[in-house]
Amino acid sequence: MTGGQIFTILVVLFAVVTVMRGVRIVPQGEEWVIERLGKYFATFMPGLNFMIPYIDNVAQRVVTKDIMLDVPQQEVITRDNALLVVNAITFVKITNPVKAVYGIVNFADGIRNLVMTALRSIIGEMELDQALSSRDQIKARLRESIANEVLDWGLTVKSVEIQDIKPSPSMQKAMEMQAAAERQRKATVTTAEGDKQSMILQAEARLEAAKRDAEAQVTLANASAQAIKLVTETLGDREGPMAYLLGEKYIKMLEKMTASQNGKFVVLPADIQDTVRGLLGKRAG
């Protein structure tokens, strides 16, 4: 191969490389920031674009699709000095590639730091219970607090999601102990209330029984008085009714004695009426 042929091949290769460097195809979902002699020159949109080889340079290929940034887990202290562990995910979109390239060295790290700082500030103003139950409120305030900050970087915050917010291991243990103590307190109160109610019911039952006994005694006394009156009116003397009543009670007592397991043979006196009358006579005497 002669020197002329080698030179021709080199010229052809140089021309091919030059054309390849001058013709650029930008894929959908990307925008390329072009510099000319070290200075921003243009932004290539998706499709076929042309640039001057060796003078123009692709400074950065910027993704214009939504970008998901994972915010590292961090510990946050609430207003009542409770320690929480929080992490989040941020969805952003580059709306101005030039600002994203020249406005900050690394926009991803910048957004992560903004979110972490805002989270500490927002949760630090809340009590523990409020922080654990106010995810939507935290998300709204978080997005609002960083939205204006990233405008200078050519970014738009699409959404901020709280992945997890929970007490630290030591705080969780303390909360479990507190919950157990609260359950024990409620159980004690319930038991005491039950005992109190039981005592009240027992006292009311005793009172009702006493009232019923008193009423029964009054009723029996009235019945006895009525019985004496009727017997007196029938027999027409004073000893007869008393003998009748005492005899009736005597017979009932004997029935109880014979019904008992320890009962013995009982011999009734034939002159039981005279006996009763004699008792009455002795009392009268």
pLDDT for residue 285: 43
User: Strand, coil or helix: what is 280?
Assistant: helix
**Helix, strand, coil shares of the chain as percentages rounded to 5?**
60, 25, 20
Q: Report whether 83 contacts 138 (CB < 8 A).
A: no
Residue 214 above 60 pLDDT? yes
Which tens digit of pLDDT belongs to each residue from 73-82?
A: 888 888 888 8
pLDDT for residue 43: 92
Fold of 67-173: Tetrahydropterin Synthase; Chain A (3.30.479)
* CATH 3.30.479.30 domain range(s) in the chain: 67-173
CA distances from 234 to 69, 228, 240, 241, 278 (A): 113, 10, 9, 9, 21
Between the ranges 38-47, 171-180, 211-220, 272-281, where is the mean pLDDT highest? 38-47
Rg, C-alpha atoms of the chain? 53
Measured CA to CA, the distance from residue 47 to residue 26 in angstroms comes to 5
Residue, of 172 and 83, whose pLDDT is higher: 83
Long-range Cβ contact pairs of 22-25 (< 8 A, separation 24 or more): 22/50, 22/51, 22/52, 22/53, 23/48, 23/49, 23/50, 24/48, 24/49, 24/50, 24/51, 24/58, 25/49
Residue 45 above 90 pLDDT? yes
* pTM of the full structure: 0.55
